Chains A and B, each alone.
With several copies, the nearest count.
Chain A
Amino acid sequence: MKLLAFGITREIIGMSDSSRTLKTSMTVGDLRKELCGEFPKLKELNTLAIAVNETYATDDVEINDADVVALIPPVSGG
C-alpha cells in the first residue's frame, strides 16, 4: 500500500507520501488503530477519515497491497 497524508496529518506524521508494509488482511480500522498508536496526536483531531483509492472508506474495508490509502483530517476548503 501507498500511504498519503494531508494537511495536519502530514505534519503530525512528518511525511507526505510514503510506503508502509501491509500486514496480512489489514483493514482501514486496523490501520487507523496502528497509526493512532504510533502518532497519538492523530487522536486529538476532530475527525480522521481514511480514503482508499480516492474514495472515503469505512473501518471494515480491507486494504490490499496495490491500494493508495490517504489520511483525511477535517476538510476546510472553500
Chain B
Amino acid sequence: MKKNIEISTNALVIETCRSFVHSGNNGAECLFVGTVRDQTSGQSVVKLQFEAYESMAIKEMEKIADKALREFDISAICIHHRTGTLTVGEIPVIIAVGSPHRQAAFQACQYAIDTLKETVPIWKKEFFTDGSVWVSAHP
C-alpha cells in the first residue's frame, strides 16, 4: 500500500505517476488527467493561475490517498497537483491508481478526484480576454 503526493510548479508527467503505481501485482491502472480547457461557459480562457495552501493541501491529499487505500482494493495511488500559471492544454492534476482488478481502480480514482475538488485547499483564477474570476467563489 503506497502513496505518492506532490504539489509542484513544474509540469506534471503522466509516466512518472503511472510508474509509481505500476507493479506486477496489478492487473489494472486507472489514470485521471485534468487539463486546462480553452473555454468556460462560452468565455475564452487565456490562462489559469493555481494557488495552494500547500502544507494543508498536502495533508488533505494524504487523507484522500489513505482513505482510497483503506476503502478500495487498490495497491497504490499517486496524486500530483500543479500550481502557478497554466495555459490551455496543460495539466493541473494527475491521479494514478494501481489495483489487482479494474473496478476498484476506477472507483478509487474517481473518489480521489471528486474529493480533491471538494476538500483540498487549492484555488484557481481563470483569466479571460477581458477579465478574471476566482472559480466557484460566488453563487
Contact = CB atoms under 8 A, between A and B. Distances in A.
Interface of A: 4, 6-8, 11, 44-46, 51, 54-56, 70, 72-78
Nearest to A56: B119
Contact of A78 (B51, B92, B139): B92
Q: Do most interface residues of chain B lie in helix, strand or loop, or is the interface mixed?
A: mixed
B134 A77 contact: no
Contact of A72 (B93, B121, B124, B135): B121
B137 A77 contact: no
Contacts, number: 79
Given A75-B120, A75-B136, A76-B134, 17 more contacts: A7-B123, A8-B134, A45-B137, A46-B136, A46-B138, A54-B56, A72-B53, A74-B136, A74-B137, A76-B124, A76-B135, A77-B50, A77-B57, A77-B121, A78-B93, A78-B113, A78-B120
Interface residues of B, number: 29
28 contacts: A6-B53, A7-B51, A7-B125, A7-B134, A8-B134, A8-B137, A45-B137, A51-B53, A51-B56, A54-B56, A70-B121, A74-B137, A75-B117, A75-B119, A75-B122, A75-B123, A75-B136, A76-B117, A76-B136, A77-B50, A77-B57, A77-B81, A77-B120, A77-B124, A78-B34, A78-B93, A78-B120, A78-B122
Interface in B102-139: 113, 116-125, 134-139
